[in-house]
Amino acid sequence: MRKITRAFGVTRSFVSLQAAADEAGSSRILAGQYPLLDHQAGQALGRQVGEFILRHLQSGHARPG
């Protein structure tokens, strides 16, 4: 379980980073900051970036740090 502390000392717990991202996106959609399509595109891009980084770390083309 992952815990994230936000403003005012409120701590939220999530079973995964994906669950935290889902909640953050949902709250911004409900607040009218951006539409569902932007949330979906942002999550897809985040997955692609993560997969790209993992592939390069595993292939030896990049090193952490």
Task: Report yes or no: 21 and 40 within 8 Å, Cβ to Cβ.
Answer: no
Q: Give this prediction's pTM.
A: 0.66
Domain extents for the chain? 2-59
Per-residue pLDDT of 4-52, as tens digits, reads 666 677 788 889 988 988 988 999 999 999 999 999 999 999 999 999 9
Q: Tell me how many degrees the CA angle 53-56-59 measures, rounded to the nearest 5.
A: 150
